[in-house]
Amino acid sequence: MSRVEFPKAGTIEVNPSILSADFACLADEIAVIERAGVKMVHLDVMDGHFVPNITIGPPVVAKLRGHSKLFFDAHLMITEPRKYAKAFVEAGTNHITFHIEVEDRPEELIDVLHDMGVTAGICLNPETPVERVEKVAPLCDMVLVMTVHPGFGGQEFMAEAAEKIRRIREIVGPEIRVEVDGGIDAEIAPIVVGYGADTLVAGHAIFSKSDRIAAIEAIREACR
């Protein structure tokens, strides 16, 4: 299994979501973003239950692991994260984010993930209030704020949901990453960075462009 270090807080990182990439050649797509100098890649895992879509599972992650040294950030949009976490860790995932909406004992699951040697994150849907994660957020390595309803790439950014980033940043302080996911492009990125986000997931804004590297650079440039 790879030993990729978690990118410590304190930098703005563009985190490409492969959901909008060409699934027929994922290894090549990841090689391109690696050339752009990104540190992490966002893997959207969907089970057709928690969200109305199905994407990738551990066998795909395991194959990709053989092609990339990037930090694998798995976003589990599944109803039973506890049941499948180990399989994702064994496949070579470096970080696992699960949703607060499906977990009654989030603090315990964070411990389980840490004990398995990966970093851990909690995610909240647009309609979920910050209070739901207040206790668990400081135990995480990264907190993920959804700015679209999870399930599909290329949706429109929900400005109201993004405002929760401010409160999350207050709760976790500067040492924990705050990730934002959904509808992020070069125009929106500086707004969410202004709220306190430092990890910018972007799918459509990168993989809908023929020049993925220029698209990543445009998001970075907009935040400088």
For residue 179, state whether it binds Zn ion (rule: CB under 5 A).
no
Closest CB to Zn ion among residues 111, 168: 168
**Distance from the first to the final alpha carbon of the chain:** 35
* Beta sheet of 142-146, edge-to-edge order: 13-16, 199-202, 177-181, 142-146, 119-124, 95-99, 71-77, 40-46
Q: Is 44 a residue that touches Zn ion (CB under 5 A)?
A: yes
Minimum CB distance to ligand DX5 smaller for 138 or for 164:
164
The distance of closest approach from Cβ of residue 201 to Zn ion in the complex, given in angstroms and rounded to an integer, is 6
Reported residue count of the chain is 224
Residues at the contact surface with ligand DX5, assessed by CB under 6 A: 17, 19-20, 42, 44, 75, 148, 150-155, 181-184, 201-205
Rounded Cα gap, residues 219 and 222, in angstroms: 5
Q: Which one of Zn ion, ligand DX5, none is in contact with 182 (Cβ closer than 5 to 8 A by kind)?
A: ligand DX5
Q: What span, in angstroms and rounded, lies between the C-alpha atoms of 20 and 129?
A: 28
Nearer to ligand DX5, 32 or 108 (CB): 32
Which of the residues 28, 44, 104, 141 is marked catalytic? 44
181 or 198: whose CB is closer to Zn ion? Answer: 181
Catalytic residue check, 185 = no
Which residue number places its CB atom closest to ligand DX5?
203
| Distances from the Cα of 12 to the Cα of 16, 32, 45, 186, 189, angstroms | 13, 20, 24, 13, 10
Reply yes or no on whether 181 is catalytic: yes
| Residue 191 contact among Zn ion, ligand DX5, none, beta carbon within 5 to 8 Å by kind | none
CB nearer to Zn ion: pick between 43 and 193: 43
Q: Which sign, positive or negative, has the C-alpha torsion 165, 109, 17, 65? A: positive
Q: Annotated catalytic residue: which of 47, 73, 104, 181?
A: 181
Q: Could you tell me which of 85, 87, 169 has the C-alpha nearest to residue 119?
A: 85
Quote the least distance from Cβ 153 to ligand DX5, whole Å: 4
- Give residues with Cβ within 8 angstroms of 62, minimum separation 6: 90, 91, 92
Strands 95-99 and 71-77, bridge-based pairing = parallel
Q: Which does 20 bind (CB under 5 to 8 A by kind): ligand DX5, Zn ion, none?
A: ligand DX5
Binding-site ranges for Zn ion (CB under 5 A): 44, 75, 181
- Residues acting as catalytic residues: 44, 181
